[in-house]
Amino acid sequence: MKRGLLNSIMATKQVIVGMTIMLLMLTGCSSGSQSDSTGGEANRAIQNKGSDTIVNIALAWAEEYRNVDPSVSIAVTGGGSGTGIASLINGTVDIANASRPMKDEEIADARSNDIEPVEHVVAIDALAVIVNLDNPVSKLSIDELSDIFTARITNWKDVGGNDAEIILVSRETNSGTHVYFLEEVVRRGEKDNSDIFAPQTLLMPSSVGITSEVQRNPNAIGYDGLGYVDQAHEKVLAIAKDNESPYIAPTIETAKEGTYPLSRDLYMYTAGEPQDVIAQYLDWIFSSEGQAIVQRLGFVPLETEE
């Protein structure tokens, strides 16, 4: 009786093992068939990280693209241009957003990791200089801005404002907007200029931080992408290239014309020429549909051929 019971148990085990092997074989066949039929479904995800200036546009693009191709998943995060570029260099993102061009040393680092960065201009931004609504100053030259942000000018009365200390507000150093403002305003676009932001400058981790401080503090001055400015709550200054040039307000029109002196390109970087789903996504961004989102959010769209 014991031997019969033992034989029965062994037979049952054999059946279970056999069924398990068959199930695994069927699962493997099914999985391979699915992969073949979808053309590699696992690859239809895009990791996109970087510039906080671009992040709202990138989020809007990603959301709308779900309607264009629901099979593509796009994960968008900010963190600054430097963060996005570093992620591209170490191979953890498909697209890096940047509000400045990659530096030579960043390109060299990428190439040392067998990554060839490819630059794509995806929109244009007008960098607005903003002050509190109660500030009587309405225009400044780049020379005056340089003197203000290096603390050579520290009182608003020296540029036609109230007798009050100027409070400086900037993005953090990891921000592409910070780098652009440093090079084009603080250093006046001069390659051999080594000026830096005054040490008392308040460094903010986001565009919202800058606008919040300017709205709160009547003596603050900061800068932000035009798409982030709410002119009901901040005053946007007209800017002159130098003391002999006209003062121009930042608008989509003046940025597109190139008359506003603080206009800049916005970038996406890919590791090599984009292929497959990434190429399709970038093509859509460059289309009239993608560029309509740029304009809707207050940035400057590229010219399209459609």
10-30 tens-digit pLDDT: 444 443 334 333 333 333 333
Q: Domain ranges in the chain?
A: 44-124+265-296, 125-263
Residue 210 CA to residue 74 CA, distance in Å, equals 28
Give the residue, 39 or 211, on which the prediction is more confident: 211
What residue type is 141 in one-letter code? S
Q: What does the pLDDT look like over 280-305, one tens digit per residue?
A: 999 999 999 999 999 999 999 998 76
Give CATH for domain 125-263: 3.40.190.10
Domains 44-124+265-296 and 125-263 share a fold: yes
Amino acid 22: pLDDT: 36
Amino acid 305: pLDDT: 64
Amino acid 44: pLDDT: 84
Phi, psi of 255 (to 5 degrees): -70, -40
Sign of the CA dihedral running 156, 158, 161, 163: positive
Residue 164 CA to residue 131 CA, distance in Å, equals 13
Give the residue, 108 or 32, on which the prediction is more confident: 108
Q: What does the pLDDT look like over 215-230, one tens digit per residue?
A: 999 999 999 999 899 9
Closest CA to 271 of 19, 121, 90, 8: 90
- Which residues, including other chains, have CB under 8 Å from residue 114's CB and lie 6 or more apart? none
Residue 247 CA to residue 267 CA, distance in Å, equals 27
- Which residues, including other chains, have CB under 8 Å from residue 302's CB and lie 6 or more apart? 121, 122, 123, 124, 286, 291, 294
Please name the helix (run of DSSP H) or strand (run of DSSP E) that holds residue 274, with its range, or none: none
Instruction: Please give the structure tokens belonging to residue 116.
Output: 């060839």
Identify the band that residue 306 occupies on the pLDDT scale cut at 50, 70 and 90. low
Instruction: State what percent of residues in the chain have pLDDT above 70.
Output: 85
Half-sphere exposure of 38 (CA within 13 A, CB side): 14
**Residue 83: count of CB within 10 angstroms of its CB:** 22
Of 1.20.1440.230, 3.40.50.2300, 2.60.40.1760, 3.40.190.10, which CATH number belongs to 44-124+265-296?
A: 3.40.190.10
What is the reported pTM?
0.79
Would the pLDDT of 107 be above 90? yes
Contact at 8 Å (CB) between 234 and 182? Answer: no
Closest CA to 162 of 132, 186, 137, 181: 137
